[in-house]
Amino acid sequence: MKIQANIFRKLTLFAALCILTIFKAQSQSSLNSNDFRFMNPELTLKQRVDDLVLRLTLDEKILQMQHTAPAIERLGIPQYNWWNECLHGVARNGIATVFPQAIGIAATFNPPLIKQEADVISTEARAKYYEAISKGSHEIYQGLTFWSPNINIFRDPRWGRGQETYGEDPFLTSQVGKAFVQGLQGNDPDYFKVIATAKHFAVHSGPESQRHKFDAWPSQRDLYDTYLPAFEVLVKEAKVYSVMTCYNRVFGIPSSANTFLFKETLRGKWGFNGYVVSDCWAISDIYSFHNFVPTAEKAVALTLKAGTDLSCGPEYGSLKKAVELGYITENELDVSVKRLFEARFRLGLFDPSSKVIYSAIPATEYDTPAHQELAHQVALQSIVLLKNDNNILPLTSKSRTIAVIGPYANDTSVLLGNYNGIPSHPVTMLQGIRNKAGKSTKVIYCQGVNKPEVQALRSENVNFSADPLFSEAISVSMTADVIIFAGGISPNLEGEEMDVKVPGFSAGDRTTLDLPQNQQKLLEKLKLIGKPIILLLTNGSALAINWAQQNATAIVETWYPGEEGGNAVADVLFGNYNPAGRLPVTFYKSVDDIPAFEDYSMKGRTYKYFKGTPLYAFGYGLSYTSFNYEVAELKAKSLNVTDTIVVSVKISNTGKFNGDEVIQVYAKQPIALKDQPIKSLIAFQRVQFGKGEMKEVILSIPVSRLRHFNPDIKDYAIAKGEYELLIGAASDDIKFKTIVTIE
């Protein structure tokens, strides 16, 4: 049946490709006979856009400024829907390759790999687009303008959408985000492969229950040193062509109408020349929840004047009345309309396929074996080994019988995260273990406990020991040589503005960092059996697994690992791959260790400002092998602000396995500066080492990365003086310290 299904799918796609070829030919024929100047690709972009917009009526312009832009048949302009998602693969548009969730992407600490991933995603996006237009379809999630990546700072582990981000550090976020945008947008000088959108600008990270009315007031230092840097890098270096607003207010002004954010900073200081889209229905919040202005007409006038060009939602339907009332002029409206059509021209949507190199991508180029293999590789590199007592991992032939227990062992939802596509062949943890265990190993499975989202539907006063699943797990585990427990939380519990009635969760956010109670109870019972316990964590945010750190034999952080998650985890368990992922967030011991969720001050948050002892530190991750940092040297110890710091580190793999090491460099500001971070990541590199191999790793670090925000001058500055550089394998595992002087 599977073979027949594959043949049918290929025939269907082949037919779609034929139709697409006819469509392109017809488009070329139409172009040749079309007298409209904007259809002439020999003219400049400005000439074409000006000509097109000059032909539009006010009503037509307004319709083109909403995410569902209808066709303008008299001009031969097809319908276009701006709303598409690709957080970790083409989302919500049928079958597509599903990579690990964004937080797992960050855990790879490997921007070049993530650029490859994004390139594959944009290839699949083009293929999906061509498949759709071959059928005459221009619906939501079928276009080429994507609302990814989410580069908000994951400042608090309670935030349910933190899984969509690249973690808590501005530098790591900027480097992974930059690679992702470059992979999506491509490197053609004339056309974008797809358009990426950096979101949500800015100072946005929960709580979800308050996002439509919350007012964030960070300090100027936190704003410029934490919340804005990744956006600046994506605009200036990655040339991201779209930015999305957020729901909340910033300094009292709703983001979508915030001239400080969009006029002064984004376009003024950073030179952004793309377009801005509102978060969905965020403009409605301005008058419905923020009560900033009383009417839709005043709200749309403010957002347009601030630089929000496109409304996700129907709000810009009020622009005509706003023009009639004198709140906004048609000339002001034209600025945004031109920006939006510039984007569509730069995607090649009005040009013959012979001029657009990406037109050569066939409509069948998604969910391919090569793309699935890359999803496997990214999943492998995202896995973080948190504990490995007595080198229980990798598992050997001594483990003849393995008990696989846990609510998420055979569950596909924990593979996918949110904003996901649909994989054709998702591999659960249980399936992966069975695939890799070998014929001589017996794998026994029992769920053990209900998922938290199911357990919540039952009485809160559950006697877990009397639960049949609970009893079966104990019985099964007693016959095993090793117990693998797949537990944690799921994207059915944490996410965007969710309505889930589960203890420990609120509106998609979390109120506790602990494991769900029934899982904790079962783990404690399993411990009494006396067999080794390997805990596989599924989650998009940090968990306070204090008991497990003390009592489990090994702990493997898998995140939401994508369609190949089960195979990747099994490869790690059985030694086919040596894990080297690193934590992109701090794991705290308790929710009591961090400030109130609503407090946007960075004091006491993340490795940069947290003065307590974490359960696991930012940048932490173990390996099956060992590395010896032999020497670290600076090419020059005295530099000026325009120079580059060159750090040379000699490292040897002294263990028994090939493996990767992630070299990390942190900096401390001069002692004379007040209220500075404890340390800040300024460089990292993931490097492969063969068993017994020694390498000299060179890290080039622009002195500009040492900058800090100076409130006195209201701008960035690089202080003169001595900076301590910390070189090691994690933020709390420093091998060398050295001093560089900036003159």
List the catalytic residues. 279, 494
Max distance between CA atoms of the chain, in angstroms, equals 81
Cα-trace Rg, the chain:
27
Can you say whether the dihedral through the CA atoms of 18, 21, 23, 29 is positive or negative?
A: negative
CA angle 276, 282, 284 (to 5 degrees): 125
Residue 474 and residue 591: Cα distance in Å, rounded? 31
3-class SS at 644? strand
Contact 192, 140 (CB under 8 A): no
3-class SS at 216? strand
Residue 714 and residue 675: Cα distance in Å, rounded? 15
Can you say whether the dihedral through the CA atoms of 35, 38, 39, 40 is positive or negative?
A: positive
Beta-strand pair 384-388/275-277? unpaired
Residue 50, C-beta contacts closer than 8 angstroms, at least 6 positions apart: 338
In which region does residue 690 sit, left (phi positive, over 0), alpha (psi from -120 to 50) or beta (all else)?
Answer: beta
CB atoms inside a 10 Å sphere around CB 500:
16
Residue 547 and residue 523: Cα distance in Å, rounded? 9
Residue 642 and residue 703: Cα distance in Å, rounded? 6
Residue 277 and residue 234: Cα distance in Å, rounded? 16
Residue 158 and residue 209: Cα distance in Å, rounded? 12
Contact 564, 558 (CB under 8 A): no
Residue 265 and residue 112: Cα distance in Å, rounded? 29
Query: HEC profile for 114-167?
Result: HHHHHHHHHHHHHHHHHHHHHCCCCCCCCCCECCCCECCCCCCCCCHHHHHCCC
Beta-strand pair 680-689/659-668? antiparallel
Beta bridge partners of 708: 717
- The helix or strand, by DSSP H or E, that contains position 14, with its residue range, turns out to be helix 2-32
Contact 638, 741 (CB under 8 A): yes
3-class SS at 620? coil
